[in-house]
């Protein structure tokens, strides 16, 4: 049976898995799971499903629950074997397909450095960066009100502190986190940082070291593949013109407004 990957490229972890598989010529069947599709009404929407407390989207259907009871993407299916969580999927693919060593080194200490970054990532970039999308796009769309500027500034300030840590601890003066070649750590970092870029937060401006690193990551992945994977997020602001039904606003607004408290 063909390898299957259940993905929505609006999600940074899904983009990481997609880019890694494509870059390493791993054959797979793309199984789209639209996080922004109302599974009841069958309409394209921008739902709160990027949030931990998401309530809409194809990942919440009974059909998808049979694939992943956690109702999250990405998911890998390899025959009867099913695997969730982006880091676990990337490590599985790197081992099964014996991808080039620079992605996840066979050297114990180099591998530990990648693990160190991936552990840090989930409590920093992964936790902070997506909030820019909620504040700049989702809250205005579903509540009809712009989020207070100070809320966005709080997120930007928190992200800026993490970017300083990233540069000083992980990147330092190296081309990539692990040295001269790209690794899984770089891939996971860059896809997450593209989320605020997609909603107009210029986090790479005035950070020449970080901007140069991003350019090197794009080159290492391949600019065409990088742009393909990020097409949806880079056009996300177009969604602000969508007309949302009053009942849907009434359903989602309270959940989104909790983010402002």
pLDDT digits (tens, 9 = 90+) for 7-50: 989 899 999 999 999 999 999 999 988 765 544 334 444 433 34
To the question of domain 3-101 being in CATH 3.40.30.10, the answer is yes
Q: Which of 194, 196, 187 is nearest to 216 (CA)?
A: 187
**Which residues have a Cβ under 8 Å from the Cβ of 200 and sit 6 or more positions away?**
136, 237
The class level of CATH for 103-260 reads mainly alpha
Closest CA to 70 of 53, 89, 84: 84
The distance of Cα 68 from the centroid of its chain, to the nearest Å, equals: 18
Angle at 243 between CA 241 and CA 246, to 5 degrees: 140
pLDDT tens, position by position, 78-119: 999 999 999 999 999 999 999 999 999 999 999 999 999 999
Q: Please, where in the chain does CATH 1.20.1050.10 lie? A: 103-260
pTM: 0.86
| Segments of the chain assigned to CATH 3.40.30.10 | 3-101
Q: Which residues contact 17 (CB under 8 A, 6 or more apart)?
A: 5, 7, 74, 76, 86, 89, 90, 93
């Amino acid at each position: 049976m063909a390898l299957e990957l259940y993905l929505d490229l609006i999600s940074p972890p899904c983009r990481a898995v997609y880019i890694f598989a494509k870059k390493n010529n791993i054959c797979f069947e793309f199984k789209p799971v639209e996080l922004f599709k109302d599974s009841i009404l069958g309409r394209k929407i921008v739902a709160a499903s990027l949030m931990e407390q998401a309530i809409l989207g194809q990942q919440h259907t009974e059909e998808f629950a049979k694939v992943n009871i956690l109702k999250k993407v990405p998911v890998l299916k390899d025959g009867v074997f099913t695997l969730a969580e982006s880091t676990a999927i990337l490590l599985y693919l790197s081992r099964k397909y014996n991808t080039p060593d620079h992605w996840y080194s066979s050297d114990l200490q180099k591998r530990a450095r990648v693990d160190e970054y991936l552990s840090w990532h989930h409590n920093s970039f992964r936790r902070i960066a997506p909030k820019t999308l909620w504040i700049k796009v989702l809250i205005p769309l579903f509540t009809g009100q712009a989020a207070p500027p100070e809320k966005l500034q709080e997120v930007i300030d928190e992200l800026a502190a993490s970017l300083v840590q990233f540069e000083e601890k992980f990147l330092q003066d190296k081309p990539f986190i692990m040295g001269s070649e790209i690794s899984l750590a770089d891939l996971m970092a860059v896809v997450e940082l593209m989320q605020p870029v997609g909603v107009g937060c210029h986090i790479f401006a005035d950070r020449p070291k970080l901007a140069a690193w991003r350019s090197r990551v794009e080159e290492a992945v391949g600019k065409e593949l990088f742009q393909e994977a990020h097409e949806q997020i880079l056009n996300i602001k177009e969604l602000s013109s969508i007309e949302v039904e009053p009942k849907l606003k009434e359903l989602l607004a309270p959940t989104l407004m909790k983010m402002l408290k």
